[in-house]
Chain A
């Protein structure tokens, strides 16, 4: 069942190269090689931080050249690291192909046809004798084994009568699940890096973009097939000043028509046409403010992005307003003095704390006004058609690991052989590919019960 056997059984034309790529020795080597190489990448800062690193260490230009030749600044994508990963993948593929036929044989094997001399040498064994007839003994064992939860098959050869039952032959394929899941994850990663992109976008409130900027070294612009507008950005803080939540209200437009609106937060992105927009950061736009005014009587509402000292008109509601003065308001905040006018009377001025919603009563009408810092929302943009392969690989890996580690292929046989003195010799045998101890216990328990049952009177001699 181990490698020696497998090589004969699989019937491949083995050359040295094949043997090399299918060996577990190579796997152990690549495990350690990948582990060691990865350590280098965690010690030498990657990407943009590399230059900072070499400067702070005063490395000589020769050293830097060598490091660059080895692609150390971007080690995980270097030719040699990718080479190790490829070696790992090839090793896994070849090894799996190499062992597959043997594995399949073990899963589908006809265990009744297995020679009796092999069966009686299985690791778990008991031998009894009985005076009962073959048919009685056969039905006794069939009933008992069924009682223990085994589904029995009957057979006979060379004068022996056999009963056989097994559980979980397919669990042997768990290993294949684990190994192919790793390949599936690789496939997903390759698809993602060749057909997808990672990009970013700083989008000020009230503006629309139709392109994003690649996060790769080239910072290339990537045009979108649609437009994205940021309608509003909101930042909530905890009492101690750290950000609690930030969210952007986004609108997707196709040819100027709104097709989708969604408020995104960290951990809750917007997906449109396979492109995902993640809330990742924000940036205040100095000196600009976002204002939302609602006219309660007419049920109108409008947002403006303004600078202080300038009158803003909202013709629809007949309103004019502006920020005329600003003062700090406890640490971290400010208040704004608003000038406000509408047809209901003379203009008024009043103070509004940044971010709070304030009612303005004018004649029979009521307005509500909120004013806050204007922001640009920082978005990570990703298009990754490979991610579902990766996720599928992850799920298969976990299932496969569970099967490979905690489930086993267990087999039991009963062989009935007539003896010269007219009795029956009974061989009760079992084998498992894993969890030997657990199976031993189960087997012993069954053997004890069989031996104690008086219906066919099993004896040791």
Chain B
């Protein structure tokens, strides 16, 4: 089970990343966030974002609706 879930379906660039970053701000390290999205660039954007911010992409499944689980990193870049 994840700590929080976020619906980013139908949202396009840059909104999924914007929403995720806002949601992440309210979470503490080690907590997980589940995201559903339909944006075509979602996987590429999310992978880059997670790497930049020091979080971890625990799970990713593609398909018409992409599903990702992100774990908030310990030493996240503020």
Q: Do chains A and B stick together as partners?
A: no
Listed in ascending order, the chain B residues whose CB lies under 8 Å from chain A are none
